Amino acid sequence: MLDIQYIRRYPERVQKAADDKGIEFDVRQLLEVDERRRHLLQQIEEWRALRNRLSKRTPLLQGEEKQRNIEEVREINERIKASEAELEQVKVEYERLMYRVPAVPFDDVPVGRTDADNVEIRREGRIPEFSFPLRDHVTLGEMHDIIDIPRGVKISGSRMYFLKNEGALLHRAVIQLAVDVLSKKGFTPMIVPVMVRDRAMYGTGYFPLGKEQTYVIPEDELNLVGTAEVSLVSYYADEILEEEELPKRMLGISDCFRREVGSAGKDTRGLYRVHQFTKVEQVVIARADVEESRRLHEELLQNAEEILRLLELPYRVVEVCTGDMGQGQVKKHDIETWMPSREGYGETHSCSSFLDFQARRSGLRYRDRDGQVRYCFTLNNTAVASPRILIPLLEVHQQEDGSVRIPPALRPYLGGLERLVPKK
């Protein structure tokens, strides 16, 4: 959510942001509703003031003059009542439109329509060359008896799976590795609620746009989160922090759920696009300082890259274009890891800066050193997400005999295991 004063001052910027992000939004409609809202507020205030003046006169009057005064007060009350009813309707429309306003991207964000327009920043690691027929992660999973997709589909439908044996242990190992790396960097590990109220989803920008991707539990008025970001940003919602506390670095560990609406026919084989997964999410709540926010963005990005280097996986960093950004993001980078079976890079991490977009919606503020209350800035980045990360982990490190080499960084979490040996 943006400051309405900013929208009034720079309507062209806001409209361009909506157009560049591919969001259907008409800033003129919002400004018209805003003007009507302000007019009604002023009108009601003036009528209330007039009513109060007339009411004070009533005891001082007599006869017909007193009766006329009483009647005039009654008429003003009716006008106020009608205007208040209209104002409530206008407020509903105003709020609906305000929740659709996009954040304005930084000037250096590339303009584009889809992920094909994202700009590659750098590549890291060596892409493996195999002198033997390549096996994808599904085949490797079956050989090692660590992935069972058919039985996952049998009990839960499409895009579901079981991880078993060393597959379950490998999943837990990459999660714990990320937690340990970031805990040492001062991030507070947190197991978060994965069922949240609408307030948290609106506050972080996942409602109303994107609601179709959310699993909703209407009987309990709860929603399953697609990322721990929702819970972590909402942790301090409607609170006022002190500047000395910031930045707050938090590390959310959670199961995540996504309906994948619109992905019919895409990535149907394997673990790339599934409905349930586990993520370790970095979230930072910071002061309202753009330069500090840019530095923190780079810090989060580097943290994710460090984990990929520990996993010995080749990857590339891309700057995300406007059309591939979310409603609230002002800057975004994706990390795409090399996946041999896809013969290309696949997204595994996203790093996003929001400035005060989420904080305004969530009521997340801090008191600066001068005593002024200001909205915080928020950022987030994936540390690791599984089972998607298992795709490159299994495929990149596969050997000719079907075994899979375990990177040294993961071995302590697997009892010293150096490689997976096929069972089939």
Task: Write down the number of H helices and E strands in the chain.
Answer: 12, 18
- Rounded distance between C-alpha atoms, residue 141 and residue 132, angstroms: 18
Does residue 294 have a pLDDT over 90?
A: yes
pTM of this structure: 0.93
Note the pLDDT tens digit of each residue in 123-143. 999 999 999 999 999 999 999
Q: How far apart are the first and last CA of the chain?
A: 54
Q: Of 258, 360, 361, 365, which one is the catalytic site residue?
A: 258
Q: Of 254, 350, 362, 386, which one is the catalytic site residue?
A: 350
Distance of CA 70 to the CA centre of its chain: 56
The whole-number pLDDT of residue 277 equals: 97
Q: Of 72, 347, 367, 374, which one is the catalytic site residue?
A: 347
Domain ranges within the chain, ordered by starting residue: 4-98, 115-420
Q: Is 83 one of the annotated active-site residues of the chain?
A: no
What is each CA distance from 31 to 13, 14, 240, in whole angstroms?
14, 12, 30
The whole-number pLDDT of residue 64 equals: 85
Is residue 339 a contact partner of residue 362, using CB atoms and an 8 Å limit?
Answer: no
Note the pLDDT tens digit of each residue in 150-205. 999 999 999 999 999 999 999 999 999 999 999 999 999 999 999 999 999 999 99
**Mean pLDDT of the residues in the chain:** 96
Q: Is 295 one of the annotated active-site residues of the chain?
A: no
**Class (C level, CATH) for 115-420:** alpha beta
DSSP code for 398: B
Q: Is 350 one of the annotated active-site residues of the chain?
A: yes
Does residue 265 have a pLDDT over 80?
A: no
For 47-73, the DSSP string reads HHHHHHHHHHHGGG--HHHHHHHHHHH
What is each CA distance from 50 to 75, 80, 181, 396, in whole angstroms?
11, 11, 66, 77
User: Half-sphere exposure of residue 114, counting CA atoms within 13 Å on the CB side?
Assistant: 1
Produce one character per residue of 37-67: b if its CB has 16 or more CB atoms within 10 Å, e if not: beebeeebeebeeebeebeeeeeeeeeeeee
Q: Of 159, 249, 361, 388, which one is the catalytic site residue?
A: 388
Q: Is 309 one of the annotated active-site residues of the chain?
A: no
CATH architecture of the domain formed by 4-98: Orthogonal Bundle (1.10)
Q: Is 135 exposed, middle or buried (0-12, 13-18, 19+ CB in 10 A)?
A: buried
Q: Is 258 one of the annotated active-site residues of the chain?
A: yes
Does residue 88 have a pLDDT over 80?
A: yes
